[in-house]
């Protein structure tokens, strides 16, 4: 006996059904030449998050006070609570193996991730991609207003890597919901 064919999903259902990604964020010692990662965090669709400070390696000396004003992480905190770069790379490789991971500042984050891995002569087991590659035109048009609303709703007190990753994830989710809702209207 043949079963009836399943109805095709609407565009709105498809938008919501698309697998949501892991979002990663990196805080750094500055934005220019010689800057390096000082904190890395990610947020998973199941709500799990990871965040760690990174102890500066011997050659990592650049420090930008303006960057510290943004992320609020003082260099002595890294020395006392940061994890060695090799430990951070191994933890990321175990947790993110074979996945595409998304960030909102790909040009910076790619460089900082490369600095992290090259310093300890390892290679990421995951692929870093630009979050904008995932966004529909509708989501792009709603992004900034949606992000502002999500930041107010989450009321995170610190500008830190895992919190920023969660904000990006929640913004993507909310923008998708809004765009799916527009398709249903």
* pLDDT for the residue numbered 18: 55
Of the two residues 2 and 105, the one the predictor is more confident about is 105
Whose CA is closest to 11, among 168, 185, 170? 185
Contacts of 12 (CB under 8 A, 6+ apart): 180, 181, 183, 184
Annotated domain spans of the chain: 11-184
3 pLDDT more than 50: no
CATH C-level class of 11-184: alpha beta
* pLDDT for the residue numbered 178: 94
Q: What is the pLDDT of residues 48-101, one digit of tens each?
A: 999 999 999 999 999 999 999 989 999 999 999 999 999 999 999 999 999 999
Q: What is the pLDDT of residues 4-56, one digit of tens each?
A: 333 334 454 444 445 799 999 999 999 889 999 999 999 999 999 999 999 99
Segments in the chain forming alpha helices (H) = 11-17, 65-71, 75-81, 85-96, 106-119, 137-154, 161-184
What mean pLDDT comes out for the span 137-163?
93
What pTM, to 2 d.p., does this model score?
0.87
């Amino acid at each position: 006996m043949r079963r009836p064919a399943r109805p095709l999903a609407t565009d709105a259902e498809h938008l919501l059904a698309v697998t949501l990604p892991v979002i990663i964020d990196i805080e750094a010692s500055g934005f220019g030449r010689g800057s390096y990662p000082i904190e890395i965090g990610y947020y998973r669709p199941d709500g799990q998050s990871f965040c760690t400070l990174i102890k500066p390696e011997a050659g990592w000396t650049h420090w930008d006070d303006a960057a510290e004003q943004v992320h609020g992480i003082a260099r002595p905190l890294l020395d006392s609570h940061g994890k060695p770069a090799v430990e951070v790379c191994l933890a990321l490789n175990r947790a993110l193996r074979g996945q595409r991971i998304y960030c909102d500042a790909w040009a910076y984050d790619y460089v900082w991730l490369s600095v992290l891995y090259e310093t300890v002569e390892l290679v990421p087991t995951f692929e870093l991609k630009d979050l904008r590659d995932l966004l529909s035109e509708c989501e792009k048009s709603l992004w900034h207003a949606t992000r502002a609303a999500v930041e107010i709703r989450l009321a995170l007190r610190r500008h830190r890597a895992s919190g920023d990753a969660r904000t990006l994830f929640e913004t993507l989710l909310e923008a998708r919901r809004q765009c799916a809702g527009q398709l249903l209207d």
